Amino acid sequence: MDTTATMISIPSHVAIVMDGNGRWAEERGWTRTEGHRAGLENIRKIVKFFSKNGVKYLTLFAFSTENWDRPNEEVKILIELLEQAVREETKPLHDDGVRIRHIGRLDRLPVNLRDSILDSVALTSANQGINLNIAYDYGSRTEIVDAVKRIVVEGLSSDQITEDLFSTKLYTNGIPDPDFVIRTAGEMRLSNFLMWQCAYAEFYTTKCWWPDFDEDEASKALDEFSNRKRRYGKLDSI
């Protein structure tokens, strides 16, 4: 009998690297902007799916610290699309009981976008439904460096620093670590996403582009997770 490995049917926290918007559009002869727009439109459906299936936390990697290095016009469009999405989607998500949280830096975002994000976080702060964490201008290395800076500023001694304490200095303080990481578009890397938090997460990749990642694809991912054994570095008991 296996006593150390745990069979789990539904992950509590799912994190998704939403990849492939641009390539999805180019495959169809469309602009990359159309791909990003389709990717944003897919978010509400996926949030509803995971909420319906008992997932408590959903973290979406929307814009990385490295994405600033893309062509200026594409960055401008991405920011405009996100601001539009925040304005249009916050009310429906709020009505569905979704709690929205931003993880990442806010200081580099345009004022209008920053204010929209803060408004959506405030509006939904008391909601009891699925927790939707949007990683925007997020990078795990930057997050870890910022955590170290907080510790230095607080003057903590080396004896006071533990893994649990360090976790409280991260952007994700108060959010449980992901159980399951999904990456679309077939890539096999984390890309500077939640590297501390994903130490023991199960990883799943699909060749499906993010705009095509529908309920059927999400169901396949959950089915795969249900067949995993999470050992946390331990061995199965005999």
d(CA 123, CA 118): 9
Domain that residue 78 falls in: 11-139+177-228
3-state SS assignment for residue 29 = coil
- Does residue 129 form part of some domain? yes
**In whole angstroms, how large is the CA radius of gyration of the chain?**
18
Strands (E), the chain: 6-7, 13-17, 57-64, 99-103, 131-138, 180-183, 202-205, 229-230
For the domain that residue 112 is a member of, what is the CATH number? 3.40.1180.10
Residue 161 belongs to a domain: no
* Helix orientation angle between 111-123 and 72-95, rounded to the nearest 10 degrees: 20
Residue 144 falls inside a structural domain? no
Question: Does any domain span residue 22?
Answer: yes
Specify if 166 maps to a domain: no
Task: Give the total number of structural domains in the chain.
Answer: 1
CA separation (Å) from 231 to 8, 74, 176, 237?
Answer: 12, 42, 18, 11
Has residue 170 been placed in a domain? no
Is residue 19 flagged as an active site residue? yes
Query: Would residue 156 count as lying in a domain?
Result: no
Q: Specify whether 95 is catalytic.
A: no
Asked whether residue 168 is assigned to any structural domain, the reply reads no
Q: What is the pLDDT along the chain (238 residues), one digit of tens a residue?
A: 333 344 458 999 999 999 999 999 999 999 999 999 999 999 999 999 999 999 999 999 999 999 999 999 999 999 999 999 999 999 999 999 999 999 999 999 999 999 999 999 999 999 999 999 999 999 999 999 999 999 999 999 999 999 999 999 999 999 999 999 999 999 999 999 999 999 999 999 999 999 999 999 999 999 999 998 877 666 665 4
- The C-alpha atoms of residue 89 and residue 93 are separated, in whole angstroms, by 6
Q: List the beta bridge partners of residue 163.
A: none
- Active-site hit among 42, 53, 67, 179: 67
